[in-house]
Amino acid sequence: DTEVTQTPKHLVMGMTNKKSLKCEQHMGHRAMYWYKQKAKKPPELMFVYSYEKLSINESVPSRFSPECPNSSLLNLHLHALQPEDSALYLCASSQDVGTSDWTGELFFGEGSRLTVL
């Protein structure tokens, strides 16, 4: 199984809503990532979890709250978002940096397309 599964594929929410994006992988990867991608732009790193602990937070606003309940799951909780937060949110996983043959290759999910009204 070399898949990263994200749900939902599409989400429309108002600025006062609370919603969550979910990501799951069963490749035994211990590093998981959230990226944000706007149209015609490259993916931008938001968060990295390593062994279920937050390793990197790229100065992301607190209205985005990540959670890693276990080694296979990664959530992104959304609250009080702005219209400019509308984007494709990509989850990815990789082997952890401590692995001897680590290259850092990322396995991406298909993304959750978020629209904030």
Partner 1 sequence: GQNIDQPTEMTATEGAIVQINCTYQTSGFNGLFWYQQHAGEAPTFLSYNVLDGLEEKGRFSSFLSRSKGYSYLLLKELQMKDSASYLCAVRAGAGSYQLTFGKGTKLSVIP
Binding site residues, partner 1, CB under 8 A? 4, 31, 33, 40-45, 48, 50, 55-56, 90, 94, 97, 103-111
Say how far apart CA 74 and CA 19 lie, in whole Å. 14
Q: What's the min distance (Å) between Cβ of 109 and partner 1?
A: 6
User: Do 112 and 92 form a contact (C-beta atoms < 8 A)?
Assistant: no
Ramachandran assignment for 5, one of left (phi > 0), alpha (psi -120 to 50 degrees), beta (any other): beta
- Distance of closest approach, residue 18 Cβ to partner 1, in angstroms: 25
Comparison of 14 and 104: residue with beta carbon closer to partner 1: 104
CB of 80 to partner 1, least distance (A): 27
3-state secondary structure of 92: strand
**Looking at residue 83, what DSSP letter applies?**
G
Of 34 and 64, nearer to partner 1 (C-beta) is 34
Nearer to partner 1, 17 or 71 (CB): 71
Structure tokens, 5 = 């599964």
From the CB of 33, what's the least distance to partner 1, in Å?
Answer: 7
